[in-house]
Structures are given as structure tokens and as C-alpha cells.
Amino acid sequence: MLVNAINGGEADCVIAILTPPVQEQFIARNRSQINTRVWLGAGKLMEFAYRQKSGKGKVMTFLDRMLFRREIEKTKKES
């Protein structure tokens, strides 16, 4: 299901927060089926930044805003 979701979203890049052994196993099993150009494995670093009590890290805030803007643009084009 995850491979279908990635390919269905026509993503050029995937930013993953999977733990190292799980991520490598997933990529090894599904490499031929995943249609992305870049897979960025941030692992525990991004998970820690995302779950900080003092607020989101700068990277996650940037990504949230970028994804939100992209969804708004898609909605405008469909209307």
C-alpha cells in the first residue's frame, strides 16, 4: 500500500522518517517498484525535531508550509 501511495502521488522525492534497519529493508524489497528520483532518509533526526515539546523544528515547519502551499495550488487548479 505504501508503494502505491508514493507512486500515486507522483512524488519526485520522498523524505522518510523510518528507523535505519526498517528503511533499508523497505528500499531493498521495493526498489524496482518505487518511481521516485530521490529518497531522503532522515531517520531519528527528523522524528526528534518533529516531536520536540518546544515546537516543531525549522525543517519540519518549512516542509509543512511547502506541502500546504502545494495542496492549495492543486485545489485552485482543479477549481
Domain residue limits, the chain: 2-78
What CA dihedral angle connects 41, 20, 18 and 25, to 10 degrees? 100
Residues 18/41, Cβ–Cβ less than 8 Å: yes
pLDDT at 17 over 70: yes
pLDDT confidence tier of residue 29, bands split at 50, 70 and 90:
very high
Residues 61/68, Cβ–Cβ less than 8 Å: no
Q: pLDDT tens digit string along 38-79?
A: 888 877 676 666 666 555 567 777 887 888 888 888 878 876
Give the per-residue pLDDT at 57: 67
Give the per-residue pLDDT at 10: 81
Rounded average pLDDT over 31-35: 89
